[in-house]
Amino acid sequence: MATPPTIPGKAEGAFRTIGELSKETGLPQHILRYWETRFPQLRPLQRAGNRRYYRPEDVVLVQRIARMLNDEGYTIRGVQQALMADRRRSPATPLPPASYGAILAVREALVEALEQDAAA
């Protein structure tokens, strides 16, 4: 997976504003906003005033979309299909082992509550 380029004075994993991402990628801001409507995978955080903050994985996705559209000759629909195919191929991220205990505890509490409800 590609790593997002760094901005001087900003940590590598820091979120980027739409202006910073636009400067990094050379893409106009209106194109980035348009892509958000076409690619459901691209969902930057939006804070007060609809200010967008792109996570590092969003930056990598924008770079990938730009490469596919501008360098590899894909259409918008073609990129959508390729991203959906990738999503179907990659297995779901497993939960960390520490969360299994919490899930089992919730399950047991639900089973117990259902049994009490059925007995009442």
Contact 35, 62 (CB under 8 A): yes
- The third-level CATH classification (topology) of the domain covering 16-93 is Multidrug-efflux Transporter Regulator; Chain: A; Domain 2 (1.10.1660)
Which residue from 11, 25, 102 is spatially nearest to 65, judged by alpha carbons? 25
Q: What is the pLDDT along the chain (120 residues), one digit of tens a residue?
A: 455 555 666 777 789 999 999 999 999 999 999 999 999 999 999 888 889 999 999 999 999 999 999 999 999 999 999 999 887 876 666 666 666 677 778 888 888 888 888 887
Q: What angle do CA 24, 77, 44 make, to 5 degrees?
A: 40
What ranges do the domains of the chain cover? 16-93
Cα–Cα distance, 3 to 45 (Å, whole number) = 19
* 101: phi then psi, degrees, rounded to nearest 5: -60, -45
Polymer length of the chain: 120
CA distance 29 to 83: 22
